[in-house]
Homo-oligomer: A and B are copies of this chain.
Amino acid sequence: MKDVNVGVIGLGNVGSGALAILNTNAEQIAQKLGFRLRVAAVCSRSVASLNLPDVPVDALRTADWRDVVTHPEVDVVVELVGGTGVAKEMLDGAIANRKSIITANKELMALEGADIWDRAIKAGINLAMEASVAGGIPIHTVLREGISGDRIVAIAGILNGTSNYILTEMERRGDSFDQVLAEAQALGYAEADPTADVDGYDARSKLAILSALAFGERITPGDIFVEGIRRITAQDFDYAHQLGHTIRLVCSAQQTERGLMLSVRPALIPQSTILAGVKGAYNAVWVKGHFGADTFYYGRGAGPNPTGVAVVSDLMRVAREIRSGSPERVSPFAHERLGVYRPVSITQQHRPYYLRFRVDDRPGIIAELAGILASKRIGLEAVLQLPCDTKHDLPFVITVESTSELAIREATEQMSKLDFLREPPLALPMEPPL
Protein backbone atom coordinates (compact mmCIF):
# COMPACT_ATOMS: atom_id res chain seq x y z
CA MET A 1 0.00 0.00 0.00
CA LYS A 2 1.15 3.57 -0.73
CA ASP A 3 3.13 5.53 1.88
CA VAL A 4 1.31 8.21 3.83
CA ASN A 5 3.26 11.49 3.72
CA VAL A 6 3.61 13.66 6.77
CA GLY A 7 4.45 17.35 7.16
CA VAL A 8 5.56 18.52 10.60
CA ILE A 9 5.27 22.19 11.59
CA GLY A 10 7.10 23.11 14.79
CA LEU A 11 10.38 21.38 15.61
CA GLY A 12 10.67 22.03 19.33
CA ASN A 13 10.64 19.37 22.04
CA VAL A 14 7.52 17.53 20.92
CA GLY A 15 8.38 17.81 17.22
CA SER A 16 11.86 16.39 17.78
CA GLY A 17 10.42 13.63 19.94
CA ALA A 18 7.85 12.65 17.31
CA LEU A 19 10.47 12.69 14.53
CA ALA A 20 12.81 10.50 16.59
CA ILE A 21 10.03 7.97 17.19
CA LEU A 22 9.00 7.95 13.51
CA ASN A 23 12.61 7.30 12.56
CA THR A 24 13.54 4.78 15.28
CA ASN A 25 10.30 2.78 15.08
CA ALA A 26 9.90 3.05 11.29
CA GLU A 27 10.01 -0.71 10.64
CA GLN A 28 7.64 -1.55 13.45
CA ILE A 29 5.20 1.17 12.39
CA ALA A 30 5.28 -0.14 8.81
CA GLN A 31 4.55 -3.66 10.09
CA LYS A 32 1.65 -2.46 12.17
CA LEU A 33 0.15 -0.38 9.35
CA GLY A 34 0.97 -2.39 6.27
CA PHE A 35 2.50 0.75 4.71
CA ARG A 36 5.05 3.40 5.66
CA LEU A 37 4.79 6.84 7.26
CA ARG A 38 7.17 9.11 5.37
CA VAL A 39 8.22 12.55 6.61
CA ALA A 40 7.92 14.65 3.44
CA ALA A 41 8.28 18.16 4.89
CA VAL A 42 9.32 19.87 8.11
CA CYS A 43 8.97 23.50 9.08
CA SER A 44 10.51 25.72 11.73
CA ARG A 45 11.40 29.39 11.75
CA SER A 46 14.93 28.34 12.62
CA VAL A 47 15.07 25.36 10.26
CA ALA A 48 18.33 26.58 8.69
CA SER A 49 20.21 26.22 11.97
CA LEU A 50 18.74 22.86 13.04
CA ASN A 51 20.52 19.53 12.79
CA LEU A 52 17.42 17.28 12.32
CA PRO A 53 19.07 13.83 12.39
CA ASP A 54 15.68 12.09 12.16
CA VAL A 55 14.42 13.85 9.04
CA PRO A 56 14.94 12.01 5.71
CA VAL A 57 17.42 13.74 3.40
CA ASP A 58 14.84 14.13 0.64
CA ALA A 59 12.28 15.87 2.89
CA LEU A 60 11.50 19.54 2.31
CA ARG A 61 12.93 21.80 5.04
CA THR A 62 11.27 25.18 5.14
CA ALA A 63 10.78 28.19 7.40
CA ASP A 64 7.37 28.94 5.83
CA TRP A 65 4.50 26.80 7.08
CA ARG A 66 2.53 27.56 3.90
CA ASP A 67 5.00 25.35 2.03
CA VAL A 68 3.85 22.42 4.20
CA VAL A 69 0.07 22.88 4.06
CA THR A 70 0.19 23.37 0.28
CA HIS A 71 2.79 20.63 -0.38
CA PRO A 72 1.26 18.37 -3.05
CA GLU A 73 2.62 15.17 -1.50
CA VAL A 74 1.71 15.85 2.14
CA ASP A 75 -1.33 13.88 3.35
CA VAL A 76 -1.22 14.86 7.05
CA VAL A 77 -0.10 18.11 8.66
CA VAL A 78 1.21 17.88 12.23
CA GLU A 79 0.81 21.22 14.01
CA LEU A 80 3.11 21.51 17.04
CA VAL A 81 3.38 25.29 17.24
CA GLY A 82 0.76 25.91 19.91
CA GLY A 83 -1.19 29.02 20.84
CA THR A 84 -4.22 30.56 19.17
CA GLY A 85 -2.48 32.83 16.67
CA VAL A 86 -0.59 31.48 13.67
CA ALA A 87 -1.48 27.90 14.66
CA LYS A 88 -5.08 28.69 13.77
CA GLU A 89 -3.99 29.91 10.33
CA MET A 90 -2.03 26.69 9.89
CA LEU A 91 -5.06 24.53 10.64
CA ASP A 92 -7.23 26.71 8.40
CA GLY A 93 -4.61 26.28 5.66
CA ALA A 94 -4.50 22.51 6.13
CA ILE A 95 -8.30 22.27 5.97
CA ALA A 96 -8.43 24.51 2.88
CA ASN A 97 -5.90 22.22 1.21
CA ARG A 98 -7.71 19.08 2.42
CA LYS A 99 -4.78 17.81 4.46
CA SER A 100 -5.61 15.75 7.53
CA ILE A 101 -4.46 17.25 10.84
CA ILE A 102 -2.70 16.09 13.99
CA THR A 103 -2.45 18.75 16.67
CA ALA A 104 -1.12 19.03 20.22
CA ASN A 105 -2.69 22.46 20.63
CA LYS A 106 -4.81 22.36 23.79
CA GLU A 107 -5.50 26.07 23.91
CA LEU A 108 -6.82 26.28 20.36
CA MET A 109 -8.79 23.03 20.55
CA ALA A 110 -10.34 24.04 23.88
CA LEU A 111 -11.49 27.35 22.44
CA GLU A 112 -12.34 26.49 18.85
CA GLY A 113 -12.16 22.71 18.60
CA ALA A 114 -15.85 22.29 17.86
CA ASP A 115 -15.70 24.65 14.86
CA ILE A 116 -12.41 23.24 13.60
CA TRP A 117 -13.83 19.73 13.83
CA ASP A 118 -16.99 20.70 11.94
CA ARG A 119 -14.93 22.22 9.16
CA ALA A 120 -12.65 19.18 9.02
CA ILE A 121 -15.69 16.92 8.60
CA LYS A 122 -17.01 19.15 5.80
CA ALA A 123 -13.61 19.02 4.09
CA GLY A 124 -13.59 15.23 4.31
CA ILE A 125 -10.32 15.00 6.22
CA ASN A 126 -9.20 13.33 9.49
CA LEU A 127 -8.30 15.13 12.68
CA ALA A 128 -6.64 13.92 15.90
CA MET A 129 -5.52 15.67 19.06
CA GLU A 130 -4.39 13.01 21.56
CA ALA A 131 -1.28 15.04 22.43
CA SER A 132 -3.33 18.05 23.53
CA VAL A 133 -4.27 16.54 26.91
CA ALA A 134 -2.11 14.48 29.29
CA GLY A 135 0.67 13.81 26.75
CA GLY A 136 1.61 10.30 27.84
CA ILE A 137 -1.91 9.02 28.57
CA PRO A 138 -3.98 7.89 25.57
CA ILE A 139 -7.13 9.31 27.13
CA HIS A 140 -8.67 10.52 23.87
CA THR A 141 -8.45 7.03 22.40
CA VAL A 142 -9.96 5.63 25.58
CA LEU A 143 -12.91 8.04 25.56
CA ARG A 144 -13.54 7.98 21.79
CA GLU A 145 -13.04 4.25 21.30
CA GLY A 146 -12.08 2.17 24.31
CA ILE A 147 -15.15 2.94 26.41
CA SER A 148 -17.25 4.63 23.73
CA GLY A 149 -20.22 2.35 24.47
CA ASP A 150 -20.60 3.78 27.96
CA ARG A 151 -22.05 7.07 29.15
CA ILE A 152 -19.67 9.05 31.31
CA VAL A 153 -21.03 10.26 34.64
CA ALA A 154 -17.97 12.07 35.97
CA ILE A 155 -14.28 12.61 35.39
CA ALA A 156 -11.63 13.80 37.80
CA GLY A 157 -8.09 14.42 36.76
CA ILE A 158 -4.69 15.77 37.53
CA LEU A 159 -3.90 17.44 34.23
CA ASN A 160 -1.07 19.88 34.93
CA GLY A 161 2.28 18.25 35.63
CA THR A 162 4.03 21.42 36.79
CA SER A 163 1.52 22.24 39.51
CA ASN A 164 1.42 18.61 40.59
CA TYR A 165 5.20 18.59 40.81
CA ILE A 166 5.12 21.76 42.93
CA LEU A 167 2.40 20.44 45.26
CA THR A 168 4.00 17.03 45.76
CA GLU A 169 7.44 18.59 46.37
CA MET A 170 5.89 20.95 48.95
CA GLU A 171 4.29 17.90 50.53
CA ARG A 172 7.48 15.83 50.50
CA ARG A 173 9.91 18.48 51.72
CA GLY A 174 7.72 20.89 53.70
CA ASP A 175 8.94 23.83 51.59
CA SER A 176 6.85 26.85 50.63
CA PHE A 177 5.14 27.36 47.28
CA ASP A 178 7.56 30.18 46.39
CA GLN A 179 10.64 28.08 47.23
CA VAL A 180 9.54 25.11 45.15
CA LEU A 181 8.34 27.27 42.26
CA ALA A 182 11.68 29.12 42.11
CA GLU A 183 13.51 25.82 42.08
CA ALA A 184 11.22 24.36 39.40
CA GLN A 185 11.85 27.46 37.29
CA ALA A 186 15.62 27.10 37.73
CA LEU A 187 15.38 23.46 36.64
CA GLY A 188 13.24 24.35 33.63
CA TYR A 189 10.18 22.46 34.93
CA ALA A 190 8.20 25.69 35.26
CA GLU A 191 8.01 28.68 32.91
CA ALA A 192 9.39 32.11 33.85
CA ASP A 193 5.74 33.22 33.83
CA PRO A 194 4.10 30.33 35.68
CA THR A 195 0.54 31.68 35.47
CA ALA A 196 -0.83 29.13 32.99
CA ASP A 197 0.39 26.25 35.15
CA VAL A 198 -0.07 27.38 38.76
CA ASP A 199 -3.25 29.39 38.27
CA GLY A 200 -5.02 26.51 36.56
CA TYR A 201 -5.52 27.88 33.03
CA ASP A 202 -3.53 25.15 31.30
CA ALA A 203 -5.50 22.52 33.19
CA ARG A 204 -8.73 24.32 32.32
CA SER A 205 -8.05 24.01 28.57
CA LYS A 206 -7.38 20.31 29.02
CA LEU A 207 -10.52 19.79 31.10
CA ALA A 208 -12.55 21.59 28.42
CA ILE A 209 -11.28 19.18 25.76
CA LEU A 210 -11.71 16.07 27.93
CA SER A 211 -15.23 17.10 28.91
CA ALA A 212 -16.13 17.70 25.29
CA LEU A 213 -14.97 14.16 24.48
CA ALA A 214 -16.55 12.59 27.55
CA PHE A 215 -19.92 14.30 27.41
CA GLY A 216 -20.22 15.11 23.71
CA GLU A 217 -20.78 18.79 24.40
CA ARG A 218 -19.25 22.04 23.20
CA ILE A 219 -17.62 23.38 26.32
CA THR A 220 -16.76 27.05 26.82
CA PRO A 221 -13.52 27.13 28.85
CA GLY A 222 -14.59 30.44 30.43
CA ASP A 223 -17.53 28.61 32.05
CA ILE A 224 -15.15 26.42 34.03
CA PHE A 225 -14.49 27.60 37.57
CA VAL A 226 -10.75 27.92 38.07
CA GLU A 227 -8.62 28.49 41.16
CA GLY A 228 -4.84 28.05 41.35
CA ILE A 229 -2.46 26.68 43.96
CA ARG A 230 -0.62 29.84 45.08
CA ARG A 231 -2.33 30.00 48.46
CA ILE A 232 -1.48 26.42 49.47
CA THR A 233 1.17 26.21 52.20
CA ALA A 234 3.30 23.38 53.53
CA GLN A 235 1.18 23.59 56.70
CA ASP A 236 -1.94 22.86 54.67
CA PHE A 237 -0.37 19.51 53.85
CA ASP A 238 0.29 18.87 57.54
CA TYR A 239 -3.37 19.56 58.34
CA ALA A 240 -4.57 17.56 55.34
CA HIS A 241 -2.47 14.56 56.44
CA GLN A 242 -3.89 14.89 59.92
CA LEU A 243 -7.30 14.46 58.28
CA GLY A 244 -6.14 11.43 56.21
CA HIS A 245 -6.06 13.53 53.06
CA THR A 246 -3.64 15.20 50.69
CA ILE A 247 -4.02 18.23 48.39
CA ARG A 248 -4.00 18.16 44.59
CA LEU A 249 -5.10 20.49 41.81
CA VAL A 250 -8.20 18.55 40.78
CA CYS A 251 -9.94 18.95 37.41
CA SER A 252 -13.49 17.82 37.87
CA ALA A 253 -16.45 17.35 35.53
CA GLN A 254 -19.74 15.94 36.74
CA GLN A 255 -22.98 15.25 34.98
CA THR A 256 -25.72 16.52 37.30
CA GLU A 257 -29.48 16.61 36.91
CA ARG A 258 -29.29 20.27 35.98
CA GLY A 259 -26.30 20.06 33.65
CA LEU A 260 -22.53 19.81 33.66
CA MET A 261 -20.52 21.09 36.63
CA LEU A 262 -16.88 21.86 35.83
CA SER A 263 -14.03 23.08 37.99
CA VAL A 264 -10.26 23.24 38.31
CA ARG A 265 -9.27 23.87 41.91
CA PRO A 266 -7.07 22.63 44.73
CA ALA A 267 -8.98 20.11 46.81
CA LEU A 268 -8.44 17.69 49.67
CA ILE A 269 -8.54 14.09 48.49
CA PRO A 270 -8.40 11.02 50.75
CA GLN A 271 -4.94 9.50 50.92
CA SER A 272 -6.45 6.05 50.35
CA THR A 273 -7.63 7.14 46.93
CA ILE A 274 -5.72 6.13 43.83
CA LEU A 275 -5.59 9.77 42.68
CA ALA A 276 -3.61 10.68 45.81
CA GLY A 277 -0.80 8.40 44.61
CA VAL A 278 -0.15 10.60 41.57
CA LYS A 279 3.11 12.41 42.30
CA GLY A 280 5.60 14.62 40.51
CA ALA A 281 5.01 15.58 36.88
CA TYR A 282 2.58 12.71 36.29
CA ASN A 283 -0.97 13.16 35.11
CA ALA A 284 -3.98 10.96 35.76
CA VAL A 285 -7.61 10.75 34.75
CA TRP A 286 -10.28 8.92 36.70
CA VAL A 287 -13.47 8.18 34.79
CA LYS A 288 -16.79 7.10 36.25
CA GLY A 289 -18.97 5.41 33.67
CA HIS A 290 -22.66 4.64 34.03
CA PHE A 291 -22.07 0.98 33.16
CA GLY A 292 -18.30 0.51 33.32
CA ALA A 293 -17.92 2.01 36.80
CA ASP A 294 -14.46 3.28 37.70
CA THR A 295 -11.51 3.29 35.36
CA PHE A 296 -8.27 5.14 35.94
CA TYR A 297 -5.49 6.19 33.56
CA TYR A 298 -2.03 7.39 34.54
CA GLY A 299 1.13 8.49 32.77
CA ARG A 300 3.57 11.30 32.07
CA GLY A 301 1.83 14.62 31.53
CA ALA A 302 4.30 15.99 29.05
CA GLY A 303 7.81 15.57 27.66
CA PRO A 304 9.11 15.12 24.11
CA ASN A 305 8.90 11.33 24.15
CA PRO A 306 5.55 10.64 25.86
CA THR A 307 3.88 13.43 23.86
CA GLY A 308 5.74 12.21 20.76
CA VAL A 309 4.15 8.77 21.25
CA ALA A 310 0.73 10.46 21.29
CA VAL A 311 1.51 12.31 18.04
CA VAL A 312 2.86 9.20 16.28
CA SER A 313 -0.02 6.99 17.48
CA ASP A 314 -2.48 9.62 16.20
CA LEU A 315 -0.58 9.66 12.90
CA MET A 316 -0.91 5.89 12.62
CA ARG A 317 -4.65 5.97 13.18
CA VAL A 318 -5.23 8.84 10.81
CA ALA A 319 -2.97 7.25 8.17
CA ARG A 320 -5.03 4.04 8.44
CA GLU A 321 -8.23 6.05 7.98
CA ILE A 322 -6.78 7.89 5.00
CA ARG A 323 -5.78 4.63 3.32
CA SER A 324 -9.16 3.05 3.98
CA GLY A 325 -10.93 6.21 2.78
CA SER A 326 -12.81 6.93 5.96
CA PRO A 327 -12.74 10.62 6.88
CA GLU A 328 -14.12 11.84 10.22
CA ARG A 329 -17.90 11.65 10.22
CA VAL A 330 -18.87 12.57 13.77
CA SER A 331 -17.41 15.37 15.85
CA PRO A 332 -16.25 14.37 19.33
CA PHE A 333 -17.35 17.83 20.46
CA ALA A 334 -20.99 17.24 19.70
CA HIS A 335 -21.53 13.54 19.30
CA GLU A 336 -24.41 13.29 21.73
CA ARG A 337 -26.48 16.23 20.55
CA LEU A 338 -29.07 15.01 23.01
CA GLY A 339 -29.50 18.22 24.88
CA VAL A 340 -28.26 21.74 25.09
CA TYR A 341 -25.10 22.16 27.13
CA ARG A 342 -26.01 23.85 30.39
CA PRO A 343 -23.06 24.72 32.57
CA VAL A 344 -24.05 24.52 36.23
CA SER A 345 -22.41 27.03 38.54
CA ILE A 346 -19.94 25.60 41.00
CA THR A 347 -21.78 27.53 43.72
CA GLN A 348 -24.37 24.73 43.64
CA GLN A 349 -21.83 22.00 44.42
CA HIS A 350 -22.13 20.33 47.84
CA ARG A 351 -19.03 19.13 49.64
CA PRO A 352 -17.51 19.00 53.11
CA TYR A 353 -14.96 21.84 53.33
CA TYR A 354 -11.58 22.47 54.86
CA LEU A 355 -11.26 26.07 56.09
CA ARG A 356 -7.81 27.28 57.02
CA PHE A 357 -7.32 30.51 58.92
CA ARG A 358 -4.28 32.60 59.82
CA VAL A 359 -5.04 34.67 62.89
CA ASP A 360 -3.54 36.83 65.58
CA ASP A 361 -4.70 34.72 68.48
CA ARG A 362 -7.01 36.03 71.17
CA PRO A 363 -9.94 34.54 73.15
CA GLY A 364 -13.26 34.20 71.35
CA ILE A 365 -11.98 33.58 67.83
CA ILE A 366 -13.54 30.14 67.45
CA ALA A 367 -16.81 31.41 68.84
CA GLU A 368 -16.99 34.20 66.28
CA LEU A 369 -16.13 31.93 63.35
CA ALA A 370 -18.53 29.23 64.55
CA GLY A 371 -21.22 31.87 64.89
CA ILE A 372 -20.88 32.87 61.25
CA LEU A 373 -20.96 29.21 60.16
CA ALA A 374 -24.09 28.62 62.24
CA SER A 375 -25.77 31.69 60.74
CA LYS A 376 -25.30 30.07 57.28
CA ARG A 377 -26.53 26.72 58.63
CA ILE A 378 -23.13 25.14 58.03
CA GLY A 379 -22.43 22.27 60.44
CA LEU A 380 -19.03 22.39 62.12
CA GLU A 381 -17.20 19.08 62.02
CA ALA A 382 -13.83 19.60 63.74
CA VAL A 383 -11.34 22.22 64.86
CA LEU A 384 -7.66 21.36 64.40
CA GLN A 385 -4.59 23.16 65.59
CA LEU A 386 -1.15 21.67 65.17
CA PRO A 387 1.53 22.73 67.70
CA CYS A 388 2.85 26.21 66.94
CA ASP A 389 5.18 28.52 68.91
CA THR A 390 3.63 31.87 68.10
CA LYS A 391 0.40 33.68 68.84
CA HIS A 392 0.79 35.89 65.79
CA ASP A 393 -0.05 34.61 62.33
CA LEU A 394 -1.28 31.38 63.86
CA PRO A 395 -2.73 28.82 61.42
CA PHE A 396 -5.61 26.56 62.34
CA VAL A 397 -8.28 24.62 60.55
CA ILE A 398 -12.01 24.13 60.82
CA THR A 399 -13.66 21.35 58.83
CA VAL A 400 -17.37 21.53 58.11
CA GLU A 401 -20.05 19.08 57.03
CA SER A 402 -21.24 18.93 53.46
CA THR A 403 -22.64 22.29 52.38
CA SER A 404 -22.93 24.33 49.21
CA GLU A 405 -20.06 26.30 47.70
CA LEU A 406 -22.41 29.29 47.82
CA ALA A 407 -22.86 29.02 51.59
CA ILE A 408 -19.09 28.68 52.03
CA ARG A 409 -18.46 31.77 49.92
CA GLU A 410 -20.95 33.81 51.89
CA ALA A 411 -19.47 32.61 55.18
CA THR A 412 -15.84 33.21 54.20
CA GLU A 413 -16.69 36.65 52.80
CA GLN A 414 -18.23 37.63 56.11
CA MET A 415 -15.30 36.12 58.01
CA SER A 416 -12.83 38.12 55.90
CA LYS A 417 -13.99 41.29 57.62
CA LEU A 418 -12.94 40.04 61.06
CA ASP A 419 -9.95 42.00 62.33
CA PHE A 420 -8.07 39.03 63.81
CA LEU A 421 -7.67 37.37 60.40
CA ARG A 422 -4.31 37.89 58.70
CA GLU A 423 -5.77 36.92 55.31
CA PRO A 424 -9.11 35.73 53.99
CA PRO A 425 -9.88 32.09 54.95
CA LEU A 426 -8.67 29.43 52.51
CA ALA A 427 -11.60 27.16 51.64
CA LEU A 428 -10.87 23.81 49.96
CA PRO A 429 -13.54 21.24 49.14
CA MET A 430 -12.99 17.72 50.45
CA GLU A 431 -13.58 15.31 47.60
CA PRO A 432 -15.16 11.88 48.15
CA PRO A 433 -12.91 8.82 47.62
CA LEU A 434 -12.47 8.08 43.94
Contact = CB atoms under 8 A, between A and B. Distances in A.
Contacts of A335: 28, 31-32
B317 A150 contact: no
A292 to B, nearest CB: 4
Given A28-B338, A32-B330, A293-B300, 17 more contacts: A21-B150, A22-B149, A28-B216, A28-B335, A136-B292, A140-B146, A141-B141, A145-B316, A147-B309, A149-B313, A274-B277, A293-B299, A293-B306, A295-B299, A295-B300, A296-B299, A297-B298
Contact of A17 (B34, B141, B291): B291
A243 interface: no
Chain B CB within 10 Å — which of A292, A317, A326, A337 has the most? A292
Nearest to A274: B277
Interface in A207-252: 216
A295 B149 contact: no
Contact of A25 (B25, B34, B142, B150): B150
Contacts of A130: 146
Contacts of A7: none
Interface in A15-55: 17, 20-22, 24-25, 27-29, 31-34
Chain B CB within 10 Å — which of A28, A146, A300 has the most? A146
Contact of A300 (B32, B149, B292): B292
Interface of A: 17, 20-22, 24-25, 27-29, 31-34, 130, 136-138, 140-142, 145-151, 216, 274, 277, 289, 291-300, 303, 305-306, 308-313, 315-317, 320-321, 324-326, 329-330, 335-338
Nearest to A304: B291
A245 to B, nearest CB: 16
Given A145-B313, A306-B291, A297 B297 contact: yes
**How many copies of this kind of chain does the complex include?**
2
Contact of A142 (B28, B142, B303): B142
A149 B312 contact: yes
B138 A142 contact: yes
Contacts of A305: 291-293
A303 B294 CA distance: 12
Contact of A277 (B27, B29, B277, B313): B277
Contacts of A150: 21, 25, 309, 312-313
Nearest to A139: B146
Contacts of A22: 149
